[in-house]
Amino acid sequence: MSTSVKQADSDKTPTKEELIARFGRDIFNDFDYNDPMFNTKFNETLEAHLEHCPVAHSKVGTGYWWVSRNEDVRRIGQDWKTFSSAKGYQPNRPEGLPLLLPEESDPPIHTAWRTVIDPHLSPKTVASYDANIRADVNTLIDGFINKGECEFLSEFGVLLPGWAYFKNILGVPVDDLTKLVDGVEQGTFGPVDDRGGHFAFVFEYLDNYLKVRATQPPKGDMVDTILAGVIYEGGQPSTWADKVSILVDLTFGGIATTTYVMASAIHYLATNPADREWLLNNPDQMSNAIEEFARVFPPIVGLGRTCTRDVEVAGTQMKEGDFVMLAYSASSRDPRVIDNPHKVDLTRKNVIHSTFGVGKHRCIGSNLARLELRATLEEWLKRIPKFSMKPGTEPTYETAFLRSMRKLELVF
């Protein structure tokens, strides 16, 4: 058994044979976030790690560590000097895939870009998009409300985040959204060997978009800020490739993450009418409810760092060059810091979660994500206060380093 399993809290740590019978593999010593069984037994796997194995190990490719507990995830996320992002957030990275800035960089490069981009996604700036996003929510609802049913993902959940990002921030034609969403999703959830090609399409599209914008008069938006670039330490200007990378990273985050929280919240309210009624009668509690939904339904399963030196985490020795995944999804369910973490409690105060990351790499788009969730839930409940799952259906999911709901059939 690996060092991580020896550090288990319980005297009843499952044996290798019991783990294989339960999860299809030894998830403590041979974990794989791309395993279809992880998709099926998602929460159960996270909880097994939290209870028995604070640091699991994967043998996939060159291997990686999987760190689950809240305290350890926060420690790693905040210590960028020991746990670097500069070699990427995916283990066994597809060959030829460029790094995504600023996510896959450390200070001072990370600091330089975040300093100029953050104002475009600040609370004040994002708040100015509220009316536009609510209008789009209602436009999408108009498309199916008279049918008395919808498939939430294809008719709403996949579309709204892209509309919000494309219309208010990026300025890319909404007609191109489908192509970019497909590129991002196939690059994330498609066959592992094919993912690099799908990411290459997204890079090519946004490279061409930047070239077009560079010929146009400035609009004073985020794209102009990216085109202006930054100056790195030593006086070196950012390259064109860096600028494209920034735009790809922001686009990826803008269209690939919020959908899961949104769809999961709607699914929860569809199947828990008492809580739905409570939220309708207590609209002032929406902000708190959104934080709880974000905690319980985290779209980012785990993101990686590379050890810059030998280090110990939760009793596990890691070597310089080892790849470490921060299981944000698990750390938000850690009973050491969250009472009854398995329960969705819309009245929970001071909701602790790492859904938007921790440390310097905390999600740059968290303000936009919260606004999208608020606009969706408030406008949906106004217009469709009673809804449920279509009889005989269940939601379907896909899981990699992100988690996504693929189908959600509702009636109202």
Per-residue model confidence as pLDDT tens digits over 48-89: 999 999 999 999 999 999 999 999 999 999 999 999 999 999
Rounded distance, CA 63 to CA 365, Å?
A: 30
Q: Are 304 and 323 in contact (CB under 8 A)?
A: yes
Write down the pLDDT at residue 190: 63
Q: CB-side exposure of 373: number of CA atoms within 13 Å?
A: 26
Q: Are 46 and 325 in contact (CB under 8 A)?
A: no
Rounded distance, CA 180 to CA 80, Å?
A: 31
Does residue 200 lie in a domain region? yes
Residues facing residue 57 across a β-bridge: 65
Write down the pLDDT at residue 5: 44
Does residue 395 lie in a domain region? yes
On the question of a cis peptide bond just before residue 36, with omega within 30 degrees of 0, the verdict is no
Q: Are 408 and 156 in contact (CB under 8 A)?
A: no
Does residue 282 lie in a domain region? yes
Write down the pLDDT at residue 255: 78
Q: What is the pLDDT of residues 375-406, one digit of tens each?
A: 999 999 999 999 999 999 999 999 988 999 99
Per-10-residue mean pLDDT, the chain, length 412: 44 88 96 96 97 97 97 97 96 84 95 96 96 97 98 94 87 73 67 71 87 93 96 94 93 84 98 97 95 95 97 97 97 95 92 90 93 98 98 95 94 98
Does residue 295 lie in a domain region? yes
Element (H, E) at 407: strand 403-407
Tell which residue, 80, 74, 397, 88, has the closest CA to residue 249.
88
Tell which residue, 385, 394, 391, 389, has the closest CA to residue 410.
389
Write down the pLDDT at residue 128: 96
Domain count, the chain: 1
Instruction: Count CB neighbours of 43 within 10 A.
Output: 12
Write down the pLDDT at residue 13: 87
Does residue 373 lie in a domain region? yes
pTM (global) more than 0.85: yes
Q: Are 13 and 52 in contact (CB under 8 A)?
A: yes
Q: Please list the alpha-helical segments (H only) found in 193-299.
A: 195-214, 222-228, 240-256, 258-271, 273-281, 286-296
Element (H, E) at 323: strand 323-326
Which domain does 86 fall in, by range?
61-411
Given CA atoms 210, 212, 214, 220 in this order, what sign does their dihedral have?
Answer: negative
Does residue 36 lie in a domain region? no
Does residue 281 lie in a domain region? yes
CATH classification at residue 170: 1.10.630.10
Does residue 170 lie in a domain region? yes
Tell which residue, 4, 126, 109, has the closest CA to residue 63.
4
